[in-house]
Amino acid sequence: MATRRKEQAAQTEAALKEAARRVFDRQGYLATKITDITAEAGRAAGSFYSHFKSKDELLEALLLDWLAQPQQEQPEPGPADLSQRTVLRERVVAAYWRVYTAHRPEIRALHQAAMVNADFAQRLMQIRHAQLGLMRANLQQIADAGHTLPGDPAVVASAVNAMLEQFCHIWIIQGGEPIGRELEADEAIDTLTDLILRGITEPKQPES
């Protein structure tokens, strides 16, 4: 009997999480009520509080689940020779695209929650700073190998990550730009890859 209750509780928690992802993705975090989540999950409104104290706690649980995902969904750790196009494409640009695609509800919710909640703002900064540190180390590596970066590796890393984040946010989270057609993932990834590659590997032009 106890085992059965635990299984039912686990099923309800999973249903609430999946329902929250769908609702966050559809209408945004700030506009979502707890009753929206329970209705989406097909559960009684009171069942929510058997698993989460608040909507914020549910979002935190979703973020923990995301960050615990197998490494293939996350940008790879460790050094990478970003002067090699295939490395830059697969280990950085495509990795960003995959993460934003797979975790669009969580990312959208986190950005909205960060506007009104200092704890979520801090969590967002932690995620960004972790990616900044990795990008900076990789750019420093190719600078040490003789490539001329357009500036300080730390500043260039910030610029590259900001471009990746904003581009993915516009096209995956917000639905894209009015360019008159759909943008396929491969085109988006290739465009970003070549833009970044030229910026970090081509020699500076002499000033006139």
Please give the pLDDT value at position 204.
55
Please give the pLDDT value at position 203.
62
Please give the pLDDT value at position 4.
77
Nearest CA among 176, 188, 66, 170 for reference residue 127: 66
Q: Rounded CA gap, 156 and 139, in Å?
A: 8
- In this prediction, residue 8 has a pLDDT band, given cuts at 50, 70 and 90, of confident
Percent of the chain topping pLDDT 70 = 92
pLDDT tens-digit readout, 47-56:
999 999 999 9
When the pLDDT of each residue in the chain is averaged and rounded to a whole number, the result is: 91
Q: Rounded CA gap, 122 and 133, in Å?
A: 16
Amino acid at 131: Q
Instruction: Report CA 208 to chain centroid distance, whole Å.
Output: 41
Q: Rounded CA gap, 86 and 93, in Å?
A: 10
pLDDT tens-digit readout, 55-72:
999 999 999 999 887 654
Mean pLDDT of 146-164: 94
Could you tell me if 95 and 76 are in contact, meaning their C-beta atoms sit under 8 angstroms apart? yes
Written as six digits, the tokens of 74 are 């996350």
Q: Rounded CA gap, 24 and 59, in Å?
A: 10
Q: Rounded CA gap, 170 and 184, in Å?
A: 14
pLDDT tens-digit readout, 88-110:
999 999 999 999 999 999 999 99
Domains of the chain, each with CATH number or no CATH: 2-54 (1.10.10.60), 69-201 (1.10.357.10)
Mean pLDDT of 101-130: 95
Please give the pLDDT value at position 163.
97
Q: Tokens 């249903």 correspond to what residue?
A: 15
Q: Rounded CA gap, 102 and 85, in Å?
A: 24
